[in-house]
Copies of this chain bind each other. A is one copy, B any other.
Amino acid sequence: MATQERPLRADAERSVRTILEAAERVLAANPAASLEQIAEAAGVARTTIHRRFANRQALVDAMVRNVLDQLDVVIESAHPDTAPPLVALHQITAEVLRVKLGWPFAMTESFAPGSKWAQGQQQLVTRCVALLARAQAAGLVAADADLPWTCQVYYALIGEAAHNTTGTDPHELATKVIDTLLHGAGPRP
């Protein structure tokens, strides 16, 4: 079966990575795809997936945990509590976009409402709101802004930007996202 604690051998570790990446590709295209299809995309026998992951849910969970860990690192390394708000915001946006472009399925899965990841996600929202509050204190955000709503909009903008296959440079996209978030589409004074 799977999901044991014993350290994996190097080749097993490798096939786990391969499976996770293939699952991302396949499930992004079709969330209802079978394990058979995932195995084929990974160049692996279906039984191997079952050996490494107890069931489909365990596989998805591993994918989600993977991106959540990445997001944690990304946010931490942007120093959202000490760096200038706009700098941190830009840095985080670009990096989150990079993660989202690579792991779209796992990303949407982790953000699915009412999932087991709700608490982990709530933690992200809290940090996001905290950063926005710093931006507010710095005058970047209106004093009377609805921060949870702004945070929601921020996530949505990142999601939309990730759909834009044209501008694939994360930093360029990040600039657009933050510009839209702060100023909208209206005329500038």
Q: List residues of A whose CB falls within 8 A of some B CB.
A: 32, 113, 132, 139-143, 145-146, 149-150, 152-153, 155-157, 159-160, 163-164, 176, 180-189
Closest 3 CB pairs of A and B: A184-B184, A182-B186, A156-B156
Which of B145, B152, B186 sits near A160, CB closer than 8 Å? Answer: B152
B187→A184 contact, CB < 8 A: no
Q: A32-B32, A113-B163, A163-B113 are in contact. Are A185 and B145 (CB under 8 A)?
A: yes
How many copies of this chain? 2
Q: Does B186 lie within 8 Å of A140, measured CB to CB? A: yes
* Residue among B132, B139, B142, B180 making CB contact with A153, cutoff 8 Å: B180
Q: Which residue of B lies closest to A32 (CB)?
A: B32
**Contact yes or no, A152 B143, CB < 8 A:** no
Q: List 5 A-B contacts (CB under 8 A).
A: A141-B186, A142-B186, A142-B187, A152-B164, A183-B184
User: What residues of chain B lie closer than 8 Å to A140, measured between beta carbons?
Assistant: 186-187
* A3 smallest CB distance to B (angstroms): 23
Q: Which B residues lie within 8 Å of A146 (CB)? A: 176
Give Cα A157 to B186, complex, Å. 15
- Chain B residues with CB under 8 Å of A139's CB are 187
Write out the residue numbers on chain B whose beta carbons fall within 8 Å of the beta carbon of A32.
32
A180 touches which one: B132, B160, B184 (CB < 8 A)?
B184
